[in-house]
Amino acid sequence: MAISIEDVEHVAKLARLALSDDEKETFRRQLSDVLEHARIISEVDTSGVPLTSHPLPLVNVFRHDRSRPSLPQDEVTSNAAWAEDGAFKVPKIV
Amino acid sequence: MGYETIIGLEIHAELNTESKMFCGCATTFGGAPNSSTCPICLGHPGTLPVTNEQAIADTILLGLALNCEITPRSIFHRKNYFYPDMPKNFQISQYDIPLTANGWLEMEVEGYTRRVGITRVHIEEDTGKSVHIGESGRIHGADFSLEDFNRAGIPLAEIVTEPDLRSPEEARAFVQLLRATLEYLEISDCKMEEGSLRCDANISISVDGETGTKVEIKNMNSFRALHHALSYEEERQRFALEHGEKLTQETRHWDDAAGMTHPLRSKEEAFDYRYFPEPDLVPIEPDQAWVEELRGRLPELPQERLNRFKSQYGLSGEIAAMLTGEKALADYFEKAVQTGQDPVELAKWIAGDLVALLKEAVVPIQTCPVGPRGLGELVALVAQKIISGKMAKDVLKEAFQSGKGPREIVDAGGLSQIADAGELESVVEEVIADNPDAAEDLRQGKEQALKFLMGQVMKKTRGKANPGMASDLIKKKLAGD
Amino acid sequence: MEINFQEAVEIADQIKKKEYSAVEATEAFLARIEEVEPKVKAFINVSAEVARERAAGIDTRIAAGEDPGRFGGVPIAIKDVLSTRGVPTTCGSRMLEGFIPVYDATVVQRINDAGTVMLGKANMDEFAMGSSTENSYFGPTRNPWDLERVPGGSSGGSAAAVAAGEAPWALGSDTGGSIRQPAALCGIVGMKPTYGLVSRYGLVAFASSLDQVGPLTRSVRDCAALLGIIAGHDPCDSTSIPEPAPDYLAFLKGEVKGLKAGVVKELSSEGIEPGVLERFNATVETLERLGVDCEEVSLPSFSYGLSAYYLIAPAEASSNLARFDGVRYGYRAAGESEDVWEMYDRTRSEGFGGEVKRRIMLGTYALSAGYYDAYYAQAQKIRTLIMRDYGRAWESYDALVCPTSPSVAFKLGEKTDDPLTMYLSDICTIPVNLAGIPALSLPCGLSEGLPVGFQIMGPPMSEMKILDVAYALEREIGFDARPPMEG
């Protein structure tokens, strides 16, 4: 399963990763290898087989609608690179 | 060319649970930035969501009110995309197996009934809020943005309709009915201006039955805006079709100030959400007992109440719609009915003068200075002909402003201070016409005649005429003769 | 020095009997750390002050006649993938360098309540992605048995710390073998519990439907003890099994006569080093001598395990790691960014290492429009088939066995050129995570002077039985878990 550089660029954009041309080519090669190896599963007949999205047979796990104290202000932004008046600051969006 | 407008809506309603969807932070509004957050709703590494039972109950209740089927086994999905107001850069939502689906809501619009299909109602978590810092405070041209996650994680019910609406007016009526429904169920504050009720629309024009190009409209922040935006868009699309122009399937942003829609210039065209089942949450299988218990809790819904107001109280469709459009108003009306006064009269006063007073003073019906009993009192006074209808309007105003009861105001003669010049004038004319001798006497300058005529005016107005004004009017009338 | 190679359970006992104090125990381990860390590099962060403070607190409680906790004063190492309040948690990544959590993981709270003393945060492959601990931003850990070789991964630091006597026991995490494989390569015991038995709240997520926290210990008794502390329902984790956990240590007997064990054909032949296979087969014979009926069993879907795993795990990881964007915490690219999108791109490209980026790319691809059905969905269906295979096996067998790792510890740098080669290290451990069942790796001997691990798998919630089999084998094998390090 060979993937193209365009595929790599598209995926990198979705994943918000900036890749150098070298990295793109390396990933292209490596991803192709892994996907080629993984192709083995496409040969398996899974018609009628359900997906396992949850390995446990648990259902209906809930919590009661009760509020409890939130984080103190200083702890909220304690690990932020850039904060102002309790809010997280980011460069312009558009 | 048979043009038909096709509209479908996607509405988000913030649920008024005590705590957030997946953590115990309070669902406060307007606190300091990030004052209601925790590692979970901030997306700290290692944190996990736990589902708020009440939010699920509320969504099922909404689904039942919208005649939906409750899905026997539904799951959460992750909707993956990056945005600064997203604590995890994925939103926990529902995808192809929503909590409820396949319902309908019937509404009356301008004399006819329209049944609108409800495709689905599902539950998801809200995002944080961005405040854009720059010259205009809007996202375009901002230098940077500040992120506040107080809102992140608040439960959102998403209601998607079938494209069954055929006009901007229908769309507005639908959202109003949905808003009322949410209010009746007491599961949301549903205020469009505050953002607890948000609406996006899909609109297209079908030509001779052939489906047109669907355009999504966003940023309609009030009922008025919804109507304007869709009217504008309807016009824009028709114009394009009439002139053979091609329409693009796109998302457009409603600019309320400019009164038009613009294509949304989004840098992020790659909207591949890569939905997959949320592994940190387990499926929801509402059992029959729970669903039936919730069904039992359904109150009388707006449309039902509207129909009952018509049949039980003989109200017109228009007045009934106005009263039932807001639960508290309808409750007020029914309490007023308990005073024994004529419901039609009561409704007229509430829907007309009272609502006008409330609107002007920006006071909600819940804190109206005139209670239902007070209103009943007023209507009784009119019914007993103690005061005229016109006077009653003034009494109501006085009662609204002072908080005093109508009876008290009338008895205290406070009404006499409110001189109704027009009415007094006609009484004076009558009295002069009835007493030509006395009138002639007064013209001759006999002061006693004035006293006599005054007495007649007082008699006629049962003492409510303002003496000074009455005296002036008599003199004026006679002088003008 | 003796204390450094004592069982944790023994240390707890000694402290309670006042043979030595908690502070003395802690100092002994801190001293050992200082001695061998330059060579082994098992820790990213040794939190000596925190440890001393806690140990002193334990001693105060003991002196006052108060209960210091069931394992009061016993030091422990914690894989740096677990959130520890006030103590830096890096996940072996530049992305979280200097990050100080504001809350404790549930398992950390539980080991604290039991009185243990955290020595520090153990090294690991970045965000738990790897099989050698060579993917750590802070440099690799070395195998105490041969410092030129890897300790395995991703819990390589935890395994090496225990093997080298730097900690009596440790917590690790296992998504595709990350506890069991390093345990095997370092000659210690490692266990992945049933999915849902141990809370994941506070475990920085790699692949949410596969991750579990588990013990790395010198002995099976210690494994039972540590598992008992951390296991049991947690309301903060929706995927947590509703019941409390049994007291594994109290019930540990090692009675195995009459049990039936299946030797997994697909995992016990080709692809396994001859030396490993030899030790494995010898151990099977030992098992039979103990009265366990062993026979070969075929689980055909296991051949697809690796491929399914390398689609499911990266897919979930690509989503779990999206939160690392420089906005609320963690690394943010220095200098001005044109806009937030550039900030994201630069932050994530600079903050993540190569393997992490590779898996994010792979996972994003597997979930993307047009590929979801062929890759992610298909892999999840394979998973169902694997679970069915196991299900059928449990009808006939109490346990299944196979080698833990296809090879002994390999040399540093040996497999770093080709990701696929590295991924093959997990071939024996991966099916366990896909099925959500428990499994333990027990050191069963040496091959060319390097430890070999024996893997025992069981049905969901069969930890007690697995521990019993391991306990019986351990006694019989008599493996000396002390690596021939100088000093």
pLDDT at B270 over 60: no
pLDDT at B310 over 50: yes
Chain A partners of C343 at a C-beta cutoff of 8 Å?
Answer: 90-91
What ipTM was predicted for this assembly? 0.96
What distances in angstroms separate CA B416 from CA B377, B380, B411, B470, one per listed residue? 19, 19, 10, 11
Q: Is the pLDDT of residue B238 over 80?
A: yes
Band (B476; pLDDT cuts 50, 70, 90): confident
**Predicted confidence (pLDDT) per residue in C51-83, tens digit:** 999 999 999 999 999 999 999 999 999 999 999
**Among B231-240, B419-428, C285-294, which is the least confidently predicted range?**
B419-428
Looking at residue C190, its pLDDT comes to 98
**C487, pLDDT greater than 60:** no
The structural architecture, per CATH, of the domain C2-258+471-477 is Alpha-Beta Complex (3.90)
Q: What's the mean pLDDT in B422-448?
A: 86
User: Is A25 within the bounds of a domain?
Assistant: yes
The one-character DSSP state at A13 is: H
Minimal C-alpha gap between B204 and chain A (Å): 28
Known catalytic residues of C?
A: 79, 154, 178
Q: How far apart are CA C202 and CA C221, in angstroms?
A: 26
E-assigned strand segments in B178-229 = 197-207, 215-220
Phi first, then psi, for residue C224 (nearest 5°) are: -60, -40
Q: Which of C235, C327, C368 sits opposite B147 (nearest CB)?
A: C327
Q: Is C319 on the interface with A (CB under 8 A)?
A: no
> Using CB atoms and an 8 Å cut-off, which of residues 56-85 of chain A contact chain B?
56, 58-68, 70-71, 73, 76-77, 84-85
Give the model's pLDDT for residue C250. Answer: 97
- At C80-115, the pLDDT tens digits run 999 999 999 999 999 999 999 999 999 999 999 999
| Average pLDDT of chain C to the nearest whole number | 96
Whether residues A93 and C387 touch (CB distance < 8 A) is answered with: no
Nearest-angstrom CA–CA distance, B115 and B425: 54
Which amino acid is present at B16?
N
Q: How far is CA B44 from CA B377, C100, C327, C328, C357, in A?
A: 60, 11, 11, 8, 20
CATH 1.10.3720.10 fits B421-480, yes or no: no
**Nearest chain C Cα distance for residue A57, angstroms:** 10
Question: What's the CATH number where A12 sits?
Answer: 1.10.20.60
- Max mean pLDDT among B402-411, B427-436, B467-476, C336-345 falls in C336-345
pLDDT at C419: 85
pLDDT (average), residues B276-289: 97
Place B330 in a pLDDT band, splitting at 50, 70 and 90. very high
The three-state secondary structure class of B159 is: strand
pLDDT band at B266 (very low <50, low <70, confident <90, very high): low
| Residue corresponding to tokens 């506040």 | B148
pLDDT greater than 50 at residue B418:
no
**Contact assignment for B87 to C344 by CB distance below 8 Å:** no
Tell me the pairing of strands A83-84 and B69-70: unpaired
pLDDT value of position B391: 86
pLDDT value, residue B31? 83
pLDDT at B472: 85
Minimum mean pLDDT among C5-9, C160-164, C365-369: which range? C365-369
Residue contact C209–B45, C-beta within 8 A: no
Share of chain A above pLDDT 70, in %: 99
Q: Min CA distance, B273 vs chain C (Å)?
A: 8
> How many domains in chain A?
1
Q: Could you count the other beta carbons within 10 Å of the beta carbon of residue B206? A: 14
Domain locations in chain C? 2-258+471-477
Q: Is residue A50 included in any domain, yes or no? A: no
- Predicted pLDDT at B299: 95
User: Mean pLDDT in chain B?
Assistant: 91
Note the pLDDT of residue B29.
63
Q: What is the pLDDT of residues B135-189, one digit of tens each?
A: 777 777 788 999 999 999 999 999 999 999 999 999 999 999 999 999 999 999 9
Banded model confidence at residue B228, pLDDT cuts 50, 70, 90: very high
Residue whose C-alpha is closest to residue B104's, from B58, B69, B57, B61: B69
Tokens of C334: 């220095």
- Which residues in chain A are contacts of C379 at CB distance < 8 A? 38, 41
Confidence at B97, pLDDT banded by 50, 70, 90: very high
Mean pLDDT to the nearest integer, B209-217: 92
Q: How far apart are CA C316 and CA C419, in angstroms?
A: 19
Q: Supply the pLDDT for residue C72.
A: 97
pLDDT of residue A53: 82
The mean pLDDT value for C416-432 works out to 90
Q: And the tokens for B1? A: 């060319």
Burial class of residue B425, CB neighbours in 10 A (0-12, 13-18, 19+) = middle
- Is the CB of C235 less than 8 angstroms away from the CB of A63? yes
pLDDT at B447 over 90: no
φ, ψ of residue A11 in degrees (nearest 5):
-65, -40
For position B209, what pLDDT does the model report? 87
Residues of C in contact with A58 (CB under 8 A): 196, 238-239, 241-242
- B417 band by pLDDT with thresholds 50, 70 and 90: very low
Over 70: is that where the pLDDT of C1 sits?
no
DSSP β-bridge partners for residue C217: C169, C189
Chain C neighbors of A82, CB-CB under 8 A: 332
Q: Stretch C1-14: mean pLDDT, rounded?
A: 93
Q: Which two tokens stand for residue C338?
A: 């044109």
pLDDT at B269 over 70: no
What is the pLDDT, as a whole number, of residue A27? 93
Min Cα–Cα distance to chain C from A46, Å: 6
Enumerate the CATH 1.10.10.410 domain ranges in chain B, comma separated. Answer: 421-480
pLDDT of residue B276: 96
Query: Which domain, by its residues, includes A34?
Result: 1-42
pLDDT digits (tens, 9 = 90+) for C256-271: 999 999 999 988 777 8
Range with lowest mean pLDDT among B31-35, C79-83, C203-207: B31-35
Over residues B453-481, the mean pLDDT reads 79
Q: What is the pLDDT of residues C160-173, one digit of tens each?
A: 999 999 999 999 99
Cα–Cα distance, B46 to C213 (Å, whole number): 12
Query: Which own/partner contact pairs does B441-447 have at CB distance under 8 Å and 24+ positions apart?
Result: B442/B474, B442/B475, B442/B478, B443/B478, B443/B481
Of B204, B274, B270, the closest CA to residue B241 belongs to B204
Q: Is the pLDDT of residue C121 over 50?
A: yes
Contact yes or no for A77 and B34 at CB 8 A = yes
Sheet of strand B276-277: strand arrangement: B90-93, B77-80, B276-277
> pTM to 2 decimals?
0.91
C-alpha distances (whole Å) from C229 to each of B65, B450, C247, C345, C458 are 48, 104, 9, 41, 21
- The helix/strand/coil state of A71 is coil
